[in-house]
Structure 1
């Protein structure tokens, strides 16, 4: 993924761990939302902490996750991102400013609808 492709676009980042039950439970909602967003205006990215005993590739295959996924080192704290627990989500506006954090489920759907980011 090239960061130039993210300019002037909304970016939704989902930080999750391969052993995080609530993270994995959110996949169906994220997939449904991803299927309705205007992909010319919004990019989804996953940043994953792969833990022992849970394969990232296996989870991605099983849940058919279509968005780009970046594998990070292990550990709950991700320096520079202020991530201290999973799941953590971040919505960044086209100017690069974080506008929402930790939104999931129906609230996430409502935010995308309010911002007119759905097709």
Structure 2
């Protein structure tokens, strides 16, 4: 009887050791840096890693220094906009909703920033979270916003950018690289300060 118990215990310990080794190798394989592109192929990944050594950090991702993930959305006016169309310009990408008090507080500063500086603002509305699309139209009219308001109707881009709090903003330089990200509202002074650091 004792031999049977010892054999069962040893077998269980061996099985656990094998399971642990297999799981730890999977975790190691999956613990690489996050690349926020749904359409990344193996070829793209290899190209990114080989370029990293020769040309600096050309990784597409969400960290400061990464190339901002590209996206395509439709504006409130029905125009199609891609982030990559603005390469060569400094861009502020802002995620917001009409029901969000910090977003409402930030909008006048964003409009002032847009008017006073050579910056492109792409204000991405989390449309799926709105009661109606007309709420967005009324909001834009009330705040007299002149920059493009993009409609993220399925929050695909918000998910791509891993948005948690709103508003969230990404300051992207003329090379398409993230230079600053704000999780929460920004005021005009902070917008200008981060804008002036970008090329």
Give the alignment's TM-score, normalised by structure 1.
0.81
Query: Greater share of helix residues, 1 or 2?
Result: 2
Deviation of 1:112 after TM superposition, in Å, equals: 2.2
Gaps of at least 5 residues in structure 2 are: 1-79
Sort the Cα spacing of 1:115 and 1:96 in 2 relative to 1 into closer, same or farther, 3 A.
closer
Q: How far 1:85 moved relative to its partner?
A: 1.6
Give the conservation status (yes or no) of the 8 Å contact 2:95–2:158: no
Q: Distance in 2 between matches of 1:2 and 1:8?
A: 15
- Offset at residue 78 of structure 1 (A): 2.1
TM-score, with length taken from structure 2 = 0.50
Shift of 1:13: 0.8
| Alpha-carbon distance between aligned partners in 1 of 2:174 and 2:192, rounded to the nearest angstrom | 18
1:47-92 per-residue CA deviation (whole Å, 9 max, x = no partner) reads: 00131167000000111110111111366x9221121120001111
SS in 2 for 1:82: coil
Match of 1:32 among 112, 127, 132: 112
Q: What number of residue pairs does the alignment pair up? A: 112
Shift of 1:28: 1.3
Structure 1: runs of 5 or more not aligned? none
Bigger RCO (CA 8 Å, 6+ sep):
1
After superposition, the Cα gap between the structure-2 partners of 1:114 and 1:92, relative to the gap in structure 1 and judged at 3 Å, is closer
Partner of 1:61: 141
- The 3-state SS of whatever aligns with 2:169 is strand
Deviation (angstroms), 1:113: 3.6
Runs of 4+ in 1 over 4 A off after TM superposition: none
Residue by residue over 1:25-56, the C-alpha shift from the partner in whole angstroms, topping out at 9 and shown as x without a partner, is 11111111111112xxx311100013116700
Structure number having the greater strand percentage: 1
Q: CA deviation at 1:23?
A: 0.3
Structure 1 residues 108 and 61, CA, compared in 2 at 3 Å: closer, same or farther?
A: same
Q: What is the aligned partner in structure 2 of residue 107 from structure 1?
A: 190
